[in-house]
Each structure stands twice: as structure tokens, then as C-alpha cells.
Amino acid sequence: MQNQDFEEMLNQSMKEIHQGEIVEGSIISVFPNYCVLNIGYKADGILKKEDYCEDNDLDLSTLLKVGDVLKVKIKKVNDGEGQVSLSRKEILRLETNNILKKAYEEGKVHKGKVIKTNAGGLTVELEKGINVFMPTSLINVGIEKNLEQYVGQELEFVITEFNPMKRRVIADRKRLITKELKEKREECLSKLKENDIIEGFVKSILDFGVFVDLGGIDGLLHITEMGWGRIKNPKNIYNIGDKIKVLIREINNDKVSLTTKFPEDNPWILARVNYEIGKTIKGTVARMTDYGAFIQLDDNIDALLHVSQIAREKVKLPQDVLKIGQEVEVKVIDFDEEKKKISVSMKALLPEENKIDDDTSEVREINIEEYSQKMDNIEE
């Protein structure tokens, strides 16, 4: 009777527990695969390593010691052997979800270390033991092909998606970089003015020109603005990373047009003296069209020798008489500084006795730029 009274008193002193309840317990013994906790109940609680955390390869005896206090959840009040089955993993999952939910709702910038790469992105540590996923498309503004370079780095990011049901948490670094670039772009643009001369770096090279990094915004240096002379291919002049001096030709909203045609280097300033009408000069046949030949007078200036000005007799095609690279002597018969056009004649230098009295041929006005483009197409 006395034993029965003691058992009743013991049972009354022990708290009641229920499945799903969260309690604290003190470790009374530890083994590699499980540990035993005193949870203030008539039976001890058993916490197996698969219920301790997500990593099932852990050795609990290396992590825990007798006397450690753990917060655990009651899985079963009786595991079939008279003991209480416990779970810490569910507590961690709940706490982790609360931390991730808060990070998502606050929208703050976080910094975390890249743990590893995986299919489609990076695994980044938000806090110790709490990882998030950063897709490849959200790592940077460009396309990232080498993800291994980020392993071990600390990256800033924001949580842009939180779905505990699917256990999906997305970290976004691209949003921060985009915002930073926009602010830098606006700041740079506010300091630029047309006709300013600044230095920049060649960022990319295309067939029609190059994009120059001006320190926060890219400007376009079109092939037609790369110099006073004729440029066939930007790659023949520039390499990515080259430091170049440019003049801001035009700013249209957030588009910046550049030029390297500096006014002080304008060859047409001296051209009015060097190539005045009536002057005899020498040049080299640079290219030909059906309508005439372009004579290179210097590195930056070409003149048009119209087919009607090659000889007294009728010439059908300039290549019937001339060759590329041939040096010729010509006379300037027209000079238009505004349109940057010079017309020359070989016929005007022929001896007087070879002139034909009824020769009434006239110099046709030719659009040099138009013929240059046609010639480019022929050469290609």
C-alpha cells in the first residue's frame, strides 16, 4: 500500500506531456546514434540522430555532452518501449522558417558565404546552419558561366521569395547590383556635358563601333566617329580594355554619343590651303566604283576623280585605266569644305593641243559618302 502511494505521488509530481508539445530536456547520456534526455516526465526521452538535424551523417557523441539542455518536440509519448520519442529537427525547421520569413518580410540586405555550387546556382549561408539558394540568373547582371569562382566568397543579397510549403527560399544579388549600377549611371550622367573631353575604357567592340565605359555609363563611339579618315573595322584600331580619350558629341536622355574627331585635329582646316581649287597635287588610287576613283590625298582626306575626268576620250570604267595603289597627278577642280568633298581631274592636266574644241563635259556633283558605302559593299 505504501509503494502504491509513493507511485501515485511520483506520478502527480511529473508533468503531463502531449504529442506535438515543445519541451526542454537535459542530456543524461550520449551515443553516436542517439542521446537520452530527462524531460521531467516519468519516462526519459530518446532523440535519434535522424531527428537531431538534417545531416544524418553526424556522430552525436562528438557534438553533445551530458548536461546539455536541448529544446525538443514530442513526437510520440510512448515509442512502444515505454520511452518518449523526441525531435529537434522540427524545432530547428520551425526556427529556421521564422528567421527566413523575417528576412523576407523585412527586405534587408544580408551578407552570406557561398558554401557550394549546385544545379542551377549557389548555396549561400544566411546564418550558421541556415542556407538559401541563389539561382544563376540572380547572381549578376550578366551571364555567369563559372560558378566555382564564388565558392568561399561573401556575397550581399536580399531574400525575394519565401515558400515554406515547397521549402523554397530565393536569394537575389542581381537586384542589388542593378540598383547600384543605376545609381552610378545617374551620377555619372549628371556630370557629363556635351563637348567635354574625357577618358574611358573600351568595353566591347562591334562591327559598327565600340562601347566605352565612362565610369558608370557606356558611350557609343560609332565607326564613322573614330577619326577623320576612313575606318574599315574597329577591331583594327581598338582592343578591349584600351584607355582612350573621347569627346562627348551628344547626350540624348541616357544615350551618350562619342567621337575622336577632335576639332584641333580637323584635317579640313588646312585642306582649304593644301587643296585649293586650281592646285596640282599627287595622290594614290584608294578604291574605285563604276562612277569614278577615290584618290587618297593624305591619311584623312580622299578626293573623287569622276570617270569623266580621267581622260579626254570616253572612259567606261575607271579600272580600265587605273589600278589600286597607283600614284596619279591631279588638279583640284572643286572644293566644298562644308560637305567635306573634293573633286579632282586628270583630264585638266592634259596638254592644250590634246584638247577637243567641242568638249563640253562637266564635273558631276557626286556624293562621296554614298560612293564610299557602295565601294565598301563591293569590296566585301
Instruction: Indicate if the pLDDT at residue 14 is higher than 70.
Output: no
Looking at residue 353, what is its pLDDT?
A: 58
pLDDT-derived band at 36 (thresholds 50, 70, 90) equals very high
Give every CB contact of residue 260 below 8 A, 6+ residues apart in sequence: 221, 225, 226, 227, 244, 245, 246, 247
Instruction: Indicate if the pLDDT at residue 340 is higher than 80.
Output: yes
Looking at residue 13, what is its pLDDT?
A: 47
Instruction: Indicate if the pLDDT at residue 9 is higher than 50.
Output: no
> How confident is the model over 16-45, as a mean pLDDT?
92
pLDDT-derived band at 274 (thresholds 50, 70, 90) equals confident
CA atoms within 13 A on the CB side of 39: 29
Looking at residue 5, what is its pLDDT?
A: 54
Looking at residue 129, what is its pLDDT?
A: 77
Q: What are the pLDDT digits (tens) for 292-339?
A: 999 998 877 889 999 999 998 999 999 999 999 999 999 999 998 888
CB atoms within 10 A of CB 96: 19
Strand 292-296 with 168-172, pairing = unpaired
Looking at residue 273, what is its pLDDT?
A: 79
Q: Which residues pair with 245 in a beta bridge?
A: 199
Q: What are the pLDDT digits (tens) for 156-173?
A: 999 999 988 888 899 999
> How confident is the model over 75-85, as a mean pLDDT?
87
Max intra-chain CA distance, the chain: 154
The per-residue pLDDT of the chain, averaged, comes to 85
Looking at residue 8, what is its pLDDT?
A: 52
Q: How far apart are CA 301 and CA 368, in angstroms?
A: 11
Looking at residue 359, what is its pLDDT?
A: 47
Looking at residue 44, what is its pLDDT?
A: 92
Looking at residue 282, what is its pLDDT?
A: 92
Cell of 45: 526521452
Looking at residue 343, what is its pLDDT?
A: 94
Q: How far apart are CA 80 and CA 85, in angstroms?
A: 9
**Region for residue 247 given its phi and psi (left: phi exceeds 0; alpha: psi -120 to 50; beta: otherwise):** beta
Looking at residue 54, what is its pLDDT?
A: 75
Q: Over pLDDT 70: what percentage of the chain? A: 89
Q: How far apart are CA 284 and CA 297, in angstroms?
A: 7
Which string of b and e fits 102-123 if b means at least 16 CB within 10 Å? Answer: ebbeeeeebebebeebeeebbb
- Which position has the grid cell 557626286? 366
Number of helices followed by number of strands (H, E) in the chain: 6, 20
> How confident is the model over 273-291, as a mean pLDDT?
90
Answer with the residue of higher pLDDT: 117 or 272. Answer: 117
- Opening angle at CA 363, ends 358 and 368, nearest 5: 160
pTM to 2 decimal places = 0.53
Q: Over pLDDT 90: what percentage of the chain? A: 52
Q: What are the pLDDT digits (tens) for 48-74?
A: 998 888 777 889 999 999 999 999 999
> How confident is the model over 177-196, as a mean pLDDT?
90
Looking at residue 366, what is its pLDDT?
A: 53
- Which position has the grid cell 581631274? 345
Q: What are the pLDDT digits (tens) for 138-159?
A: 999 888 888 999 999 999 999 9
